[in-house]
Structure 1
Amino acid sequence: MRVLRALADITPLRSSPAFRRLWLGRVFSGFGGQMTLVAVMFQVWDQTGSTAWTGAVGLAQALPVIVFGLFAGTLVDRVDRRKFALVMTAGQAACSVLLAVQGFVGGVPVLVVLGLVAVQSCFVAGGGPAGRTFIPRLLPPEQLPAGLALNRIAFQGAMLLGPALGGLLLGWLGVGGCYVVDALTFGLAFYGVFGLPAMRPDGEGSRPGLRGVLDGLAFLVRTPVVRGALLTDLAATVLSMPISLFPLVNEEHFGGDPRTLGLFLSAIAVGGVAASVFSGAFTRLPRPGLVMLAGSAAWGVALTVFGLAPSPWLGLACLALAGAADTVSVVSRGALVQLNTPDALLGRVAAAEQIVGQAGPDIGNLRGGLVAGATSGTFALVSGGLLCVAAVVAVGAGTPGLRRFAVRGTSMTARPGS
C-alpha cells in the first residue's frame, strides 16, 4: 500500500476531464517540440557546419521569452486566457507549417529558419504563462501538486524520448516531415485548450503595458512565499548548474571517456523520471515549501558529492539523485507559486517563473564555465553546490512563511510572519 501511495497520483486525470484533455495535448505537443528542435539543429548544422549557428538556435528560442515574457503575462491577465492560449497555439502551429514548407522546398537561408524559430518562441512567450493559469482553475488545491507532477512527467518523457523519436523521423521523413508531425501535434494541444471553459481573470484586470508589468513585479517583491520560491530556483540554477562543466569534469576525473560523458545527462533525466513516477511520495505531503527547500538543498549536496566522486558509478548515482531532487523542487515550487498568487496576477507571475526557468540555467552554465576556466571543474562544481545549499538555507531561514505554508484538504494556510 505504501508503494502504491508513492506512485504518481493520477487523481487529476480521473476527476477532471478538462485537465485530462489539456494534459494529453501537452504530452503530444511536447514530443512534437522536441522533434522540431532536433530537425532545426540538423538543418542548421547541415547548412552551415558551424557550432556558432547551432548555438544561435538556443538564442532564438530563449531571447523572445526573456524579452517579451513579462509583457505577455500582462496581456494574459487582461483577456480571456482560453482564447489567448488558442491564438498562441495556432501561432505556434502556423510556424511549424512554415518550417515544414521551407524544409520541403530546401535552399532557404539559415537566418530565415532562425527567424521562424524566434517567431514561434514569441508565441511560446505568451502561451506559456496562459497555460500555467489553467490548472488552479481546473483542480482543487489539494490536487494541484499532483497535477503539476503529471505535467512534469509529460515534460520529462518528451525530453527523454522526443529527441530519439525525432532522429528516427528525420532519417525516414526528412526535416520537412518532422516539422509536419510537430504541426499535427499542435492540433491535439489546440483541442485540449478548446475544451476548457472561459478563463477570464478574476478581479481587476491588469493595467496595460509597463504599468501592468510593474504591478506584477511589485507583487513578487512584497509576497515572501512567492519571492522565496523564485529565489530558491535561482539559487539552484545560477549557482550550481552543472551541464557546461560535464566535459571538463569527465576529463579531470574519468579520463575523458565519451561514453561516461554521454551518461551524465542521461543520469539526471533518469533520476527526474524516477522522482516523477514516484511523485505521490511528496505531492501528498502538506507542506510544499519545506519539500521545495529540501529538494533544492539535496540538488546542491548531490552536485557537491559528484564533484568529489572518485568513481564514475558514484558520480552517476549523484547525478541521478540530483535529477530526482530537481523534480521534487520544481513540482513543489510550482504548487507554492500558484497557490499563493491571486488569479488576477497569475499570468504575470507565471511569466516571471518562465523567465527564471529559461534564464537561470543559461546564466548558471556560464557561471560554471567562467569559474572552471579560472580554477578547475571540480572547484566550480563543489563551490557551486555549497553555495546553492547556503543560499537555500538563507532563503528558508529568512522566509518563515515558506516553511509554514500548508495545504490541507481544500484549505490553504500560511501562518503569520510569511
Structure 2
Amino acid sequence: MSTDPEEPAPRRGRDWRGLFVDLAPLRTSPEFARLWAGSSVAQIGAQLTIVAVGLHIYELTRSTFAVSLVALWALGPMIVAGLVGGVLVDSFDRRRVALLTAIVAWTSIGTMTLIAFLGVSTTWPYYLLAAVNAASATIIGAARGAILPRLLSPQLLPAAAALNGITMGLAVTVGPALAGLLVAGVGFSWTYLVDAVLFSAAFLGILSLPPMVPAGAARAPVLASIAQSLSFLRRAPNVRATFVFDLIAMTLGTPRVVFPAAGALVLGGEAVTVGILTASFAVGSLLSSLLSGPLGRVRRQGRAVTLAIGAFGIFTALFGVVLLVTGAVVGPGGPDGVVMPALVLAGLALAGTGASDNVSAVFRTTILQAAAPDDVRGRMQGLFYVVVAGGPRVGDLVAGAAATLIALWAPALIGGILIAAIMAVLLRTWHGFQRYDALHPVP
C-alpha cells in the first residue's frame, strides 16, 4: 500500500528500518505498552481454549456437528454483548467496565478448568462457559478499542492497530499449536488451567490504566442508547463504510469451510493440509503487521481500505484457481499423496489474503477510533465486534452453499472475483470515503 504522491506525511526514518512495525506507541504510552503486553499473553490463552473446547466436545460426543455448536452458542451472546457492552462502555468508567468483564471471563475459564478436573462429561456447561467467555471478550475488546484513542495521538493509532495485528497473528499461530501439544500431553483440564494462568496477564494492563470516564457520558436506557448509536451511524458515512466494506469481504471471501474437503479431495494431506492452510492466513497477517511501518504514513485511509479489500478478493480468487486447476488437471491427492506445488501455491494465496485483510483491519480500526466521537466510541466498537463476529459466520454459510451447489473451488474463485469487482466500483463511486484524510478525520 502506498501513499498518494501529492500528500506525503512526514517520515520518521528513511532507511530500511522504516519498513518494520512502528514501536512508537509502546515508547510513548507506558499504559498502552502494559495493556498491549497483557492482551498479547491473554490472547494466546484465549485461542488455546477455543481449540481445546472444540477438541473436548468432539471427544465427548464424536460429532462434528456438536463441535460446530460451540460457535453457534457463542454467536448470540457475542452480538448482544457487542450492542449492550458498547452502551456500558459509553456510560461508565471504561477501565472499570473492562476490569469487571475480565473478572467474569477469568471466572468462566476457572469454572471450565474445575469441571474438567471433576470429569464432567455433560456438554452444555462447556457450551455455556464458552459463550460467557466469548461475550466477555467482546465487551473487553469494545472497552479496549474505546480506551486506545485516550492513550495515543491519532497519528499513532495505525501503529497501535498494527501492533494489535501482531498480537492476533501470534495468538492464532501459537495458541492452536500449543493447545494440540497440551491436550495430547497433559489433557483438557490442565490445558484450561494454562489459559487461566495466561489470562491473568490481562489484569496487569487494565489495572495500570487511569480512570476512563467517557466524554459526555449519558446513561440513557439501553435500547434508547443503541438507537442513538444507530442514528449516529446513519449520519457517519465514513464510519459506516468501514462496516459495509468489511461485511462485503467477509460474506463473499470466507472459504475456510472448504479446507477439510480440499485436504481430503484435492490437495491431499487431510488434517495436516487443513492446518497448513489455516496457518498460512495467520502467517500472512503476522508478516504484514511486522512490515507495517509504511502504513503510518498513509493519509487516504479510506482509499487504502478499498484497495486492501480488493487485494483480498484477488488473493481469495487465486486460492480458488489453485483448487480448480489442481482438481481438473493434476487430479486429487490423498492422505499420503500431497500435491505439493498446489499446496504451496494455495498457502501463498492464503498468506496474501491474511496480509491484505490485516492491512484493511489496521485502517478500518484507525478510522473508527479517530473519527467516532468519544461519547459514542464504545458503541461503535461494540458494533464493530458484532460485524467481526457475524460476518465470517455468514460467509461460512455462503461458502458452504456455493461449494455444495457448484463446486469446491466456487466459494473462493467466484467470491474473490465479486469482492474485487465491487471494490473497483466503490473506488469510483463512494467518493467521500476515498477522500477520507487521516489528518482531518470526520465520521
TM (normalized to structure 2)?
A: 0.88
Amino acid at match of 1:325: S
Q: Which runs of 5+ in 1 are unaligned?
A: none
Counterpart position of 2:193: 180
1:220, 1:347 → 2: CA distance?
Answer: 13
Over 3 Å counting, the alpha-carbon distance change for 1:394 and 1:351 in structure 2 is farther
Over 3 Å counting, the alpha-carbon distance change for 1:413 and 1:215 in structure 2 is closer
Give the CA deviation at 1:264: 1.8
Q: Which runs of 5+ in 2 are unaligned?
A: 1-13, 326-340
Counterpart position of 2:105: 92
Over 3 Å counting, the alpha-carbon distance change for 1:390 and 1:267 in structure 2 is same
Counterpart position of 1:263: 276
Give the CA deviation at 1:394: 3.6
After TM superposition, the structure 1 stretch with the greater mean CA deviation from structure 2, 88-97 or 126-135, is 126-135
Partner residue of 2:118 out of 98, 101, 105: 105
Amino acid at match of 1:225: N
Counterpart position of 1:135: 148
Over 3 Å counting, the alpha-carbon distance change for 1:192 and 1:84 in structure 2 is same
1:335, 1:281 → 2: CA distance?
Answer: 15
Deviations, residues 157-202 of structure 1 (Å, cap 9, x unaligned): 0110111112223344432222222222232211201111111111
Counterpart position of 2:314: 301
Amino acid at match of 1:346: R
Q: Indicate if the aligned counterparts of 1:245 and 1:381 stay in contact, CA closer than 8 A.
A: no
Q: Indicate if the aligned counterparts of 1:299 and 1:322 stay in contact, CA closer than 8 A.
A: yes
Matched, 1:36 2:49: yes
2:262, 2:135 → 1: CA distance?
Answer: 36
1:71, 1:338 → 2: CA distance?
Answer: 19
Give the CA deviation at 1:252: 6.6
Counterpart position of 1:333: 364
Report matched runs for 1:119-198 at 5 Å: 119-198=132-211
Over 3 Å counting, the alpha-carbon distance change for 1:188 and 1:253 in structure 2 is closer
2:373, 2:40 → 1: CA distance?
Answer: 27
2:150, 2:172 → 1: CA distance?
Answer: 27
Q: Indicate if the aligned counterparts of 2:38 and 2:201 stay in contact, CA closer than 8 A.
A: yes
Give the CA deviation at 1:204: 4.3
Q: Indicate if the aligned counterparts of 2:46 and 2:199 stay in contact, CA closer than 8 A.
A: no
2:270, 2:124 → 1: CA distance?
Answer: 36
Partner residue of 1:281 out of 281, 294, 308: 294
Report matched runs for 1:177-256 at 5 Å: 177-249=190-262, 253-254=266-267
Over 3 Å counting, the alpha-carbon distance change for 1:206 and 1:5 in structure 2 is farther
Q: Indicate if the aligned counterparts of 2:262 and 2:268 stay in contact, CA closer than 8 A.
A: no
1:14, 1:176 → 2: CA distance?
Answer: 38
Amino acid at match of 2:383: A
CA RMSD of aligned residues (A): 1.9
Deviations, residues 132-161 of structure 1 (Å, cap 9, x unaligned): 111111100000000011011011101101
Give the CA deviation at 1:15: 1.1
Give the CA deviation at 1:255: 5.8
2:183, 2:270 → 1: CA distance?
Answer: 28
Q: Indicate if the aligned counterparts of 1:225 and 1:399 stay in contact, CA closer than 8 A.
A: no
After TM superposition, the structure 1 stretch with the greater mean CA deviation from structure 2, 272-281 or 1-10, is 1-10
Amino acid at match of 1:23: W
Aligned sequence identity (%): 33
Partner residue of 1:385 out of 394, 404, 416: 416
2:390, 2:228 → 1: CA distance?
Answer: 21
TM (normalized to structure 1)?
A: 0.93
Over 3 Å counting, the alpha-carbon distance change for 1:391 and 1:26 in structure 2 is same
Amino acid at match of 2:382: A
Partner residue of 1:47 out of 31, 35, 60: 60
Deviations, residues 258-293 of structure 1 (Å, cap 9, x unaligned): 654442222212211110110112233222212111
Q: Secondary structure at the match of 1:197?
A: coil
Amino acid at match of 1:315: A
Deviations, residues 55-96 of structure 1 (Å, cap 9, x unaligned): 111223322111332122112111111001100001101111
Give the CA deviation at 1:212: 0.6
Amino acid at match of 1:392: M
Q: How many residues align?
A: 412
Q: Indicate if the aligned counterparts of 1:221 and 1:227 stay in contact, CA closer than 8 A.
A: yes
2:384, 2:407 → 1: CA distance?
Answer: 32
Give the CA deviation at 1:108: 4.2
Counterpart position of 1:5: 18
After TM superposition, the structure 1 stretch with the greater mean CA deviation from structure 2, 66-75 or 330-339, is 66-75
Matched, 1:57 2:70: yes
Q: Indicate if the aligned counterparts of 2:280 and 2:348 stay in contact, CA closer than 8 A.
A: yes
Q: Indicate if the aligned counterparts of 1:82 and 1:197 stay in contact, CA closer than 8 A.
A: yes
After TM superposition, the structure 1 stretch with the greater mean CA deviation from structure 2, 50-59 or 153-162, is 50-59
After TM superposition, the structure 1 stretch with the greater mean CA deviation from structure 2, 199-208 or 14-23, is 199-208
